[in-house]
Structure 1
């Protein structure tokens, strides 16, 4: 089912609002030296304070990177609207349902095609990435948390023994 004119107009405004929000001026943080004040001169220097500041900086950088990537997706969707290809799955060529576009206006694929693509990426991932994801699942599994029998703890023990 193709999108109605009203649906396209609604989604276009939604994308423009997202674009405006994502490309708006972001207040730049002061330099780390200014932020830490007397901490940087070595007096009352506490590693925890510096660690917190570094973590905050890394978080801010990650958020800015995510915003930049999202803005690229929004711009791509707006370009597709101009081209007349908006709402068509890039993988299957099927129409993307309005409900999906309402939730994710910059969606490039149907839910099914997106899931297939993610499954393909997971299968094609290098073994260390698959192992990492298994370890994360293992550590978050309520049955194996804090137990030496988990796969992750076994790997960590082997690594420590090899040193």
Structure 2
């Protein structure tokens, strides 16, 4: 069922609000970065202060990148509205349900199509990435086993002490 005019207008305004918010946050983040830059010019800063500054800058950069990508998605959705292709899954050509668009107004695919794409990305990951993830899982399991062993020894020690 195609989106109603009211639903489309509601989503359009929602996207515009997101666009304004993301553009506004960009300016706030830039001013925060300038403040951090001013702090780093001091000569007497402690090494821990420098570590904090580096972490703050990395966080700011990450937030900027996420906001930039999200703004691109919002702009893409607004363009699709103008083109008349908004709400159509890019993978299947099916209509994206209103509920999904209400939750994620810049959605480009249905939930099922998005899940398929994400599954394909995991499957297509280079072997070294899969091996890395398997090793991380193995390490997690090893830590769990080590923790259980440690707990078992603690219980045995307590039993020995109580005798």
Distance 1:55 1:4, change over 3 A: same
Structure showing greater Rg? 2
Contact kept in structure 1, 2:89 and 2:95, CA below 8 Å: yes
Following superposition, the deviation at residue 26 of structure 1 comes to: 3.7
Following superposition, the deviation at residue 43 of structure 1 comes to: 6.5
RMSD: 8.6
**Superimposed CA distance per residue, residues 16-62 of structure 1 (whole angstroms, 9 cap, x where no aligned partner):** 00011111264467999996799868975532221111011000000
Distance 1:26 1:155, change over 3 A: farther
**Superimposed CA distance per residue, residues 92-136 of structure 1 (whole angstroms, 9 cap, x where no aligned partner):** 000000010001000000000000000001111112222333445
Distance 1:74 1:128, change over 3 A: same
Distance 1:33 1:19, change over 3 A: closer
Distance 1:157 1:85, change over 3 A: farther
Following superposition, the deviation at residue 162 of structure 1 comes to: 45
Query: 1:24 maps to what in 2?
Result: 24
1:67 aligns with 2:57: no
Unpaired runs of at least 5, structure 1: none
Unpaired runs of at least 5, structure 2: none
Contact kept in structure 1, 2:33 and 2:57, CA below 8 Å: no
Task: Report SS of the residue matched to 2:30.
Answer: coil
Which structure: greater helix fraction? 2
Following superposition, the deviation at residue 82 of structure 1 comes to: 0.3
Following superposition, the deviation at residue 155 of structure 1 comes to: 30
Q: Give me the TM-score of the superposition, normalised by structure 2.
A: 0.75
Contact kept in structure 1, 2:26 and 2:67, CA below 8 Å: no
Q: Give me the TM-score of the superposition, normalised by structure 1.
A: 0.75
